[in-house]
Amino acid sequence: MMNKSAFNYDLPEHLIAQYPLLERTASRLLCLHRHRGTLEDLGFVDFIDRVKASDLLVFNDTKVIPARMFGRKSTGGQVEILIERLIDSHRAQAHVRASKALKAGGRIILDQGFECRVLGRDNDLFELSFEGEQSILEIMALIGHIPLPPYIKRADAVQDFARYQTVFAAREGAVAAPTAGLHFDQALMGALEAKGVAKAFVTLHVGSGTFQPVRVENLAEHVMHQEYYAVCAETVAAIEKTRAQGGRVIAIGTTAVRALESASQCGTLQAGFGETALFITPGYQFKSVDAMLTNFHLPESTLLMLVSAFAGYDSIMNAYQHAISEEYRFFSYGDAMFLWA
């Protein structure tokens, strides 16, 4: 097992993308051959030339919810809420920032007069109950903000409601976007279909824990955050058909990888759903994925460890240095990598 510090790298701050490009497909694409370690600089529109009609693209269809809300305690003091997980239509687990610790029974008055009550606390998360007839989703639709990642140093804007969301998002529940999917627009989806490239969907509701730093040097001591995933029978059948015909299973994003690999822990891919805390590091044997499209990831992050496991530590770290020297744009609104073989 490698140490956390092995995954550190220096990134100039100006390479952290603060806004999306005007067009989704205008990003750059760095292609890394998993076995040869060779690199190729392309535009994202060239992705269609790197896939074959025999391939299957697996997308994460999670939908980002406007999970950040603002309010004040009934006793005064500003409060910021970040919904982490919906328990039911009126209860949720959330991160809460306030000047003083909240206690069970405390009330929070939100924008437009909505209210919620603190039911209790479990480690970093508070359980909140939202009062009134409207569901949490309905309340968020009225007063919620898009929960941009902490490295985007600005408030969310109107454009983020569309651009921090994939064009195929369908299942509400994520508080962070599956960012590899952000590069696809409807025209490209149509062009891939016209080429004969098959597609399938999984769901993994990305949690805010994806941005939490690894706090231990020994990776064996790291406790991964849990996220809900679902893999349907139709996707399993599509993958089996693709493999039988000699095609590649190409995961669009690390979240699609984690969903597929979580559903493969018995040795073969099985349809199902549940919570996953799968932590993929170098040495892991992948069971369901042949190639991967991904964005660039934070230093010392679990996602950088995952792609290093997939394409090789030395190859990934070399590719990242190349991307920095060529001034690729990094992180959620940044450019993409295609890890292929």
* Average pLDDT of span 40-68: 98
The confidence score (pLDDT) of residue 308 equals 98
Per-residue tokens: 177: 């976007």
Give pLDDT, residue 132: 87
Q: What percent of the chain has pLDDT over 70?
A: 100
Q: How far is the C-alpha of 80 from the C-alpha of 68, rounded, in Å? A: 7
Strand partners, 43: 28
Cβ pair 263, 231 in contact under 8 A: yes
Residue 301 Cα to chain centre, angstroms: 13
pLDDT tens profile 105-159? 999 999 999 999 999 998 889 999 998 899 999 999 999 999 999 999 999 999 9
Task: Give CA–CA dist 283/266, Å, rounded.
Answer: 18
Distance of CA 89 to the CA centre of its chain: 23
- To 10 degrees, the CA torsion angle through 46, 152, 148, 293? 20
Domain 4-64+161-340 grouped into CATH 1.10.287.180: no
CATH superfamily to which 68-143 belongs: QueA-like (2.40.10.240)
Q: What is the pLDDT of residue 169?
A: 98
Structure tokens at 179: 């960012």
Closest CA to 290 of 229, 330, 245, 335: 245
Identify the bridge partners of residue 83 per DSSP, sorted by sequence position: 94
Q: How far is CA 313 from CA 2, 48, 205, 261, 307, in A?
A: 10, 27, 27, 19, 8
Question: What does pTM read for this prediction?
Answer: 0.96
* Helix (H) / strand (E) containing 6: none
- For residue 325, count CB atoms less than 10 angstroms from its CB and return exposed for 0-12, middle for 13-18, buried for 19 or more: exposed
Q: Give the pLDDT confidence of 286-300 residue by residue, as tens digits.
A: 999 999 999 999 999
Residue 324 identity: I
CA distance to 11, 15, 211, 238, 244, per residue, from 128 (Å): 38, 37, 22, 40, 48
283: left (phi over 0), alpha (psi -120 to 50) or beta: left
Three-class secondary structure of residue 77 per DSSP: coil
Q: What pLDDT was estimated at residue 1?
A: 66
- Is residue 112 helix, strand or coil? helix
User: Tens of pLDDT along 220-264?
Assistant: 999 998 999 999 999 999 999 999 999 999 999 999 999 999 999
Q: Which amino acid is at 44?
A: F
Burial of 281 (0-12, 13-18, 19+ CB in 10 A): middle
Q: Which residues contact 157 (CB under 8 A, 6 or more apart)?
A: none
Helical (H) or strand (E) element with 25: none
Pairwise CA distance, residues 17 & 49, whole Å: 26
β-bridge partners, 107: 117
The count of other CB atoms within 10 Å of the CB of residue 114 is 20
Residue ranges covered by each domain of the chain: 4-64+161-340, 68-143
pLDDT band at 209 (very low <50, low <70, confident <90, very high): confident
User: What distances in angstroms separate CA 155 from CA 69, 149, 297, one per listed residue?
Assistant: 12, 10, 21
